[in-house]
Amino acid sequence: MSPPRPIRAAIIGCGSYGAEHAAFLARHPGARLLAVADVDERRAAEFHRKFGTAYGTADVARIWADPEVDAVWICTQHDTHAGLAAAAAGAGKHVFVEKPLALTMRDCDSAIAAVERAGVVGMAGFKFRFFPAVQAARAFLGRPMLTVAHVIDDRWPEEFWANDPVKGGGNVLSEGCHIMDLVLHLNPSPAVRVYAEGGNRHHPSRDIVDTAAITLGFADGAVANVAIGDVGQPPHASKFALQQSDGQLSFSLHQRLNTLVTRAGRQVTEHPPHEEAGAAVIDTAFLAAIAGGLPSPCPLRAGRRATAVLLAAIESLRTHRAVDLAGESFAAAMTL
């Protein structure tokens, strides 16, 4: 029996995180990085040379029209994700969309509709779900009562594109979606209510939310506290950390969620830490779903859910009122 044909991949957006995916795809035996595209022609040409692709182009339509391309990775600024995802799906390509899926519910909805209509595999770029330590933590404790989690980065430069309200959305929407997805993923019961304090604390020239302390309530009575902001990484816990307790068992994930410590009774177990897992773990899962004809292990609906809860949190911190996630504005976005 001949081995399965490698999945022929294209990357849209030849920047810093496109390079992470390109480096993985260029060496993975189950993939062939066929093409790269960027509105900046020089960047596309540089990736083409560096990763040995068949071509690099500034014309994204060339990727859609290329019958050889099976799957695309969208690694561009956030306001372009939904349009590119819809175009890729419309051309019959499986589509990986870097986080956040989009910054508005309308954009999230249009990307999901296009992917579901086309019947292709759509993957939201929440890599932390696939980290070995995170998966071990989820297997250890299935029904948390209390979650405490954060993503706290160093201060983002004022002019950084992710601080642009349209292109990036600011730290809470931009990076906060990673930890929000994980908190929702690690709570089996749906989130029903959110309350938040915060706002724009230190980017006076930008109309964004850079800092938030968010409280979530879940249908089964579980609760979560989620802190997000580019206010200075905590040196011990690291930029990303998450802990859960269920009344008996507890765990801490720290060192960017690569290190797991579990506690059962008085027995504390320090599990061997992993190397930074990076994009390889989620790309492997995406390729496996395509090759096996399986449903997405992280559907675009998860991207919409994380954005929806963060938009509700932003509404809450502006109004100083809790937002009902089961209410009309958000209920549809909470279903996966």
Ligand X SMILES: NC(=O)c1ccc[n+]([C@@H]2O[C@H](COP(=O)([O-])OP(=O)(O)OC[C@H]3O[C@@H](n4cnc5c(N)ncnc54)[C@H](O)[C@@H]3O)[C@@H](O)[C@H]2O)c1
| Interacting residues toward ligand X by CB under 6 A | 12-18, 37-40, 43, 60, 75-78, 80, 98-99, 125, 127, 161, 174
Strands 71-74 vs 7-12: parallel, antiparallel or unpaired: parallel
**Residue 72 pairs with which residues in a beta bridge?**
10, 95
Q: With respect to ligand X, which residue has the nearer C-beta, 78 or 129?
A: 78
Closest contact distance (angstroms) between CB of 107 and ligand X is 13
| 97-to-44, 250, 303 alpha-carbon distances in Å | 18, 33, 9
| 155-to-30, 176, 206, 233 alpha-carbon distances in Å | 38, 14, 14, 9
Closest contact distance (angstroms) between CB of 27 and ligand X is 19
Closest contact distance (angstroms) between CB of 98 and ligand X is 4
Closest contact distance (angstroms) between CB of 252 and ligand X is 21
Closest contact distance (angstroms) between CB of 318 and ligand X is 23
Which tokens hold the place of 228? 């997000």
222 neighbors 147 (Cβ within 8 angstroms)? yes
Closest contact distance (angstroms) between CB of 40 and ligand X is 4
Q: With respect to ligand X, which residue has the nearer C-beta, 118 or 298?
A: 298
Q: With respect to ligand X, which residue has the nearer C-beta, 95 or 222?
A: 95
Q: With respect to ligand X, which residue has the nearer C-beta, 128 or 140?
A: 128
Find tokens 């706290």 and name the residue. Answer: 152
C-alpha to C-alpha distance for 125 and 102, rounded to whole angstroms: 11
CB-based contacts of 144, cutoff 8 Å, min separation 6: 186, 187, 222, 244, 245, 246
Find tokens 């509709």 and name the residue. Answer: 113
Q: With respect to ligand X, which residue has the nearer C-beta, 192 or 285?
A: 285
Nearest residue to the partner ligand X, using Cβ? 15
DSSP 314: H
Cis omega before residue 100 (within 30°)? Answer: yes
Q: With respect to ligand X, which residue has the nearer C-beta, 182 or 325?
A: 182
Closest contact distance (angstroms) between CB of 276 and ligand X is 10
C-alpha to C-alpha distance for 178 and 162, rounded to whole angstroms: 14
Q: With respect to ligand X, which residue has the nearer C-beta, 39 or 331?
A: 39
